[in-house]
Homo-oligomer: A and B are copies of this chain.
Amino acid sequence: MEDFLYEQVSDKLEHLIRSGSLKTGDKLPSIRALSQEQGISLSTAYKAYSELETKGLVEARTKSGYYIRFSPRAIPSAPSAPQRREDGKNLSYEALIQQLQRTQADESFIQFSRSAPSPQLLPHAKLRKTMMDMMRSQPSAGLTYDVIQGNVLLREQLALQAFHWGGKIQASEIVTTHGCLEAITLCLEAVTKPGDYVLLESPTYFGFLRICQHLGLKIIDIPGHPDTGVDLGDLENKLNTYPISACLLVTTFTNPLGALMPEAQKKELVDLLEARNIPLIEDDVYGDLYFGPGRPRTCKSFDKTGNVLLCSSFSKSLAPGYRVGWCIPGKYLQKVIHLKSIRSLSSTQITHQAIGYFLAHNRFDLHIRGMRKALYTQCMAYTEAIGRYFPEDIKVTQPKGGFVLWVEMNPEVHSNVLLQAAAEEKINFSPGPIFSLDQRYTHCMRISFSKPYSADVDWALRMLGKLVRQATP
């Protein structure tokens, strides 16, 4: 009962802060005053403020009380039609990606470019313990080839986990893969052939663009809305115009926009594609990293005919280097297993078995709860700092989960040029142009808040803000 009350009060206050009704620097009522005003106990009032403090929305000042420390920013508008920059400022697409990958491997850089957990967020000790426990109890674990479809323990555990995202799945419906990228590649190969059209959101993860290009697929894109993802009207228009063979979409915390497609829209999307017999490849790799009250459902959970191919991994939530991904390819199951047997034979047994063991010992839920909380706090802190340090005319997304913020700057600021200046300060970020093959979004940047907030991070964001100011006319 008490839990319910403090959450109600803190939710109400959060709404006032986020909507801008309460502004940065405003003083909040004292705990005593809040308690009287809302008819709640002192401890409940205290918990409500603590909750807001954890989220980075308010701060307690000694002997003074609670103050607002967050101010909402404008949300970027849905991306507009392509506008190719002709100012010669752009590196080639691949050169840009390779430059980014080089700085990502450079330990001296402050990393704002990775949409992946920073090492500080990972449960090193528990994973190590898991690996050791497993090797003690199964001395030969992982030495021989695993079954092609994937490690049995892991698949059984994934089937249990499916409950969280609304699925009823059997271990026999799952194929494990070398990270989510292999899952997506196998699914794309299962439902398309070179020369086919695929539909993607724009802006989108550059890995999608590269793999589609590599497979000889033609990309048709539709603008993503920063709040709700792709518009189904836009989608239908494209389906009516092009012979689309598959849709490849993130529907929960898109990358880079951080949008969450509402459940009703997800269901409608599934029905729409089902009616036209166009497979949906759904990348749910950020699904467990929600900031809201509960795990969003997947499109797969609305799939009755096996037309949705769900892909995911533990690379964003637990152990990137373990390369543990999977897919639930619906009616394309046999085809995906067949392709896996041709291309990679079997997955790395020991890491797949270890994650299965980690899940079986109920270590995942506890870990992911802490990680979600940390990410949300970091998201707030970064947003707040960007608000403080960047020019007034920028817009920032308010993601509902995941790792990244998308910043829209003055149209005259060129993200690639900014990247070179930042590199001299040993700071990196993901420049807007890598999120579409024709290098739109030159005035945008993706900033990852995966690294816990620190003095270094603060310095780097201030420096970035300074560089953006200098570049803004």
Contact = CB atoms under 8 A, between A and B. Distances in A.
A81 interface: no
Dominant secondary structure at the A interface? helix
Contacts of A455: none
B319 A347 contact: no
Contact of A348 (B119, B128, B148, B351): B351
Interface string A171-208: 00000001101100100000000100000000000010
Contact of A105 (B139, B147, B349): B147
Interface string A327-352: 00000000000110111111111110
B148 A210 contact: no
A146 B321 contact: yes
B320 A101 contact: no
A128 B119 contact: no
A28 interface: no
A135 interface: yes
Contact of A178 (B140, B178, B207): B178
Given A343-B214, A346-B321, A348-B348, A143 B124 contact: yes
A219 interface: no
Interface size class of A (residues with CB under 8 A): 35 or more
A148 B103 CA distance: 12
B128 A178 contact: no
A351 B146 CA distance: 14
A344 B179 contact: yes
Contacts of A135: 128, 131-132
Contact of A143 (B214, B216, B322, B348): B322
A142 interface: yes
B140 A124 contact: yes
A360 interface: no
A145 interface: yes
Given A124-B139, A145-B315, A321-B350, 18 more contacts: A98-B338, A119-B140, A122-B140, A122-B144, A125-B139, A131-B135, A142-B322, A143-B322, A145-B321, A178-B344, A181-B345, A185-B343, A207-B342, A211-B342, A211-B343, A214-B342, A323-B346, A350-B350
5 contacts: A178-B344, A181-B345, A185-B343, A194-B194, A207-B342
